[in-house]
Amino acid sequence: MKSIDELKIAICSDHAGYELKIRLIEFINSKNVKELKDFGAFTAESSDYPDYAHPMASAVENQDYDFGISICGTGNGISMTVNKHAGIRAALCWTPEIARLARLHNNANVLSLPARFVSFEEACEMVDVFFSTDFEGGRHQRRIDKISC
């Protein structure tokens, strides 16, 4: 696993995830990430998560970015949206252990967070573990290969 100072990360949210996203951007930048691009929303006014989720997912899918973070109120709508992209495996996470297993077993490339159901401290822990855990491969690669329909 590359260290965070070698990673290019894309991030997006809707209005419900906006405040958590802004705080996470500050947290991630303090770790000297190679690049962190915010795909919106750029205000806390009511907005539609697909408007930001699709461009962010395309950027990860095109390998312009190594990983993505997507945030909405429950994490569900935005992860449903990014998972429409063939190259995206977004994992909805609400504990650090789920975030760890999302990398270890699912080779997730997008961390989806439910802003209304996790604290800032919990989100920071999930970011830390997600971006420091490698995919285990082996039997999990075989299962991932069977996901597409």
Name the residues annotated as catalytic.
72, 105
Return the range that interacts with ligand RB5 (CB under 6 A); candidates 23-31, 71-79, 97-105, 129-137. 71-79
- Position among 4, 9, 10, 14 found at the interface with ligand RB5 (CB under 6 A): 14
Task: Check residue 6 and give left, alpha or beta (phi > 0: left; psi -120 to 50: alpha).
Answer: alpha
- Determine contact, residues 20/113, Cβ cutoff 8 Å: yes
- Position among 58, 74, 106, 133 found at the interface with ligand RB5 (CB under 6 A): 74
Under the binding rule (CB under 6 A), the answer on residue 123 touching ligand RB5 is no
Q: Inter-axis angle of helices 120-130 and 15-29, to 10 degrees?
A: 60
Under the binding rule (CB under 6 A), the answer on residue 76 touching ligand RB5 is yes
- Determine contact, residues 116/106, Cβ cutoff 8 Å: no
**What six digits make up the tokens of 42?**
């750029």
Residues contributing to the site for ligand RB5 (CB under 6 A):
14, 16, 72-74, 76-77
